[in-house]
Amino acid sequence: MLFCLSNFVPISVASKAENKGASNTMIGVIFGCYALFEFLASLVFGKYLVHIGAKFMFIAGMFISGGVTIIFGVMDQLPDGPIFIIMCFLVRVIDAIGFGAAITASSSILTKAFPNNVATVLGSLEVFTGLGLVVGPPLGGFLYQSFGYEMPFISLGCVVLLMIPLNICILPSYESDPGEHSFWKLVTLPKVGLISFTLISVSSCFGFLDPILSLFVLSKFNLPAGYVGLVFLGLALSYTISSPLFGLLSDKMPTDSHMYQDAAVCVGLLTTSGAKMHLRKWLLVFGNLITAVCFMLLGPAPIVHIKSQMWLLVLILVVNGIAAGMSIIPTFPEVLSCAYENGFEEGLSTLGLVSGLTSAMWSAGFLSTASAFIGPMLGGFLYEKIGFEWAAACGGLWPLTSGLAMGLFYLLEDSRRRSKPQSFDGTEEEEAALLPLRV
C-alpha cells in the first residue's frame, strides 16, 4: 500500500502544483526532495532502530505516511502561490521520513522473524511492491476521474491508517542492546561498497528510463497516451513474479563452496546439501550484465543493426524486470552475511544498519539522490542530444560497470579462499579420502 501511494502521489500532485503556479523546476524540487530525505531518514533510523524500537518505528512510519497522504487530499484548498508550494515541500518531506521509517523497520522485523529465509521473505515482499507499482497509478487515476482530486488521497490514506491496529496486534516486539558498529564501518567493507554501488546503478537505471521511455514509445509507435502505461507493465510484472523465485534460490544456494567439497560431491562422499553453492553472488553479477544488455537493445542501439519493434521493446522490458530481480533480491542477505563475517554482532542492531543502508542506497546513493536527480536529468539530456537509442545504451553503462566490478571482486575472492587450507567437518575416513583431491 505504501508503494501504491508513493507511485500515485507524484502523478496527481504534479498536475495540481502546476495549476497552482509552481514552475517545472519547483515541481522537480518538491518531488526530488523525497528521495533525499528518505535517504537521510533511512540512515538515521537504521542507526537508532534499537533505541526507538522496530515495531514502534514501523507503526509510526505507517501513521505518518497515512496522515500526510490525507493532508495531500485537502491541499487543493490552499491559495495559489508560495503557500501551496511551501506546504507541498513540507508534506513531501514528512512523507519521505515516514516511508523511510516504515521500510527500514519492516525489513529488520522480517529478517529477525525469518533469519534462515531472509531472501525468500524479502523476495515475496517484493510481490506486493510490484503490485503497488502496477496498481497505484490506474487505481488512483480511476478514483481521481470518478470522485475528484481528494478521493484517492483520503481513501488510500485511510486504508493505511486502518492497517495500524492490525499490525499492532500481529507484529512481535523485539528488544536488543545497541551495537558497537557504525554505518561507516559497514559501508567501507569492500564487498558492501560494491553492493551499494550495484543498488545505486539499478535504481538510477529505473530513474533514467522514467522521463524518456514514454516519450520514445509515443513518438516511435504512435500509441495513444493511455496505452503507454501498459508497456511498463512488462517490466513491473516480470519483476513481481521473478522476485520470490530469486529469493528462494538465494536462500537455498547462498554462499561459497570449496573446491574439494565440490569434488567430493562428484565422488559421492558428500551430498549436494553438504556443499553449498555460490549462486547468490552470481545472480548479482549476471543480473547487472543482463540489465546492461537490455538497455543496449531497448532502442535498439544503432550498432546492433536491429529494427525497433513494439514486441521487441516489450520483450526487453520483461527480461529487464527479471534481471532487476536478480540484481536486487540478493543484496540484503549478501550485505548481512558480509557484516556477520566481519565481526558485526548478530542482532537487531546490525539488522537496522543493513536495512537502513540498503534502503538509503536504493533511494539516494552516498551523497546525492542518484535515482531521483541524476538518472532523470541525465536521461532527459541524452534523449534530447543523441536520441533514445544511444541514450538507453549510455544508461546501460551503470549496470555494466557494477556487474564487471562485482564479477572481478568475486573471482579474486574465490581465488584467495581456494589458495588457503580449508577445514573439513567430516569423519577422519572422509578427510583421508579427500586429501588427494585437495592436492
**Average pLDDT of span 102-129:** 86
pLDDT of residue 286: 93
Query: What is the torsional sign of CA 13, 16, 21, 24?
Result: positive
- Is residue 372 scored above 60 in pLDDT? no
Residue 309: partners with Cβ closer than 8 Å, 6 or more residues away: none
- Is residue 261 scored above 50 in pLDDT? no
How confident is the prediction for the chain on average, in pLDDT? 76
**Average pLDDT of span 244-257:** 74
What predicted TM-score, i.e. pTM, was given to this entire model? 0.76
Give the least confident one: 170-184, 234-248, 325-339.
170-184
**Average pLDDT of span 119-128:** 83
pLDDT of residue 162: 92
pLDDT of residue 34: 78
Confidence tier at 383 by pLDDT (50, 70, 90): low
9-31 pLDDT tens trace: 555 555 566 666 666 567 666 76
Report d(CA 379, CA 197) in Å as an integer: 19
Is residue 238 within 8 Å of 319, Cβ to Cβ?
Answer: yes
Residue 33: partners with Cβ closer than 8 Å, 6 or more residues away: 89, 92, 93, 96
Is residue 319 within 8 Å of 233, Cβ to Cβ?
Answer: no
pLDDT of residue 414: 79
pLDDT of residue 206: 75
188-232 pLDDT tens trace: 898 998 998 888 888 877 766 766 777 777 777 777 655 666 777
| Separation in Å, CA 211 to CA 7, 88, 99, 112, 118 | 14, 22, 24, 38, 34
Is residue 69 within 8 Å of 320, Cβ to Cβ?
Answer: no
**Average pLDDT of span 412-417:** 81
Helix, strand, or coil (residue 421): coil
Give the least confident one: 56-60, 138-142, 264-268, 283-287.
264-268
391-404 pLDDT tens trace: 778 778 888 998 99
pLDDT of residue 58: 93
pLDDT of residue 276: 40
**Average pLDDT of span 77-93:** 83
Residue 116: partners with Cβ closer than 8 Å, 6 or more residues away: 251
**Average pLDDT of span 241-246:** 89
Query: Omega before 300 cis (within 30°)?
Result: yes
Q: What count of Cα atoms within 13 Å lies in the side-chain half-sphere of residue 304? A: 15
Percent share of the chain, pLDDT over 90: 10
Report d(CA 56, CA 173) in Å as an integer: 9
Confidence tier at 62 by pLDDT (50, 70, 90): very high
pLDDT of residue 257: 42
149-176 pLDDT tens trace: 778 888 888 888 999 999 999 888 887 7
- Is residue 388 scored above 90 in pLDDT? no
Query: What is the torsional sign of CA 23, 73, 356, 45?
Result: positive
Is residue 398 within 8 Å of 379, Cβ to Cβ?
Answer: no
pLDDT of residue 107: 87
Percent share of the chain, pLDDT over 70: 74
Give the least confident one: 43-47, 97-101, 104-108, 254-258.
254-258
Residue 388 phi/psi, 5-degree rounding, is: -65, -40
Give the least confident one: 31-45, 83-97, 198-212.
198-212
- Is residue 77 scored above 70 in pLDDT? yes
**Average pLDDT of span 233-253:** 84
Higher per-residue confidence, 87 vs 257: 87
- Is residue 262 scored above 60 in pLDDT? no
Confidence tier at 322 by pLDDT (50, 70, 90): very high
Is residue 242 within 8 Å of 287, Cβ to Cβ?
Answer: no
The cell for 135 is 496498481
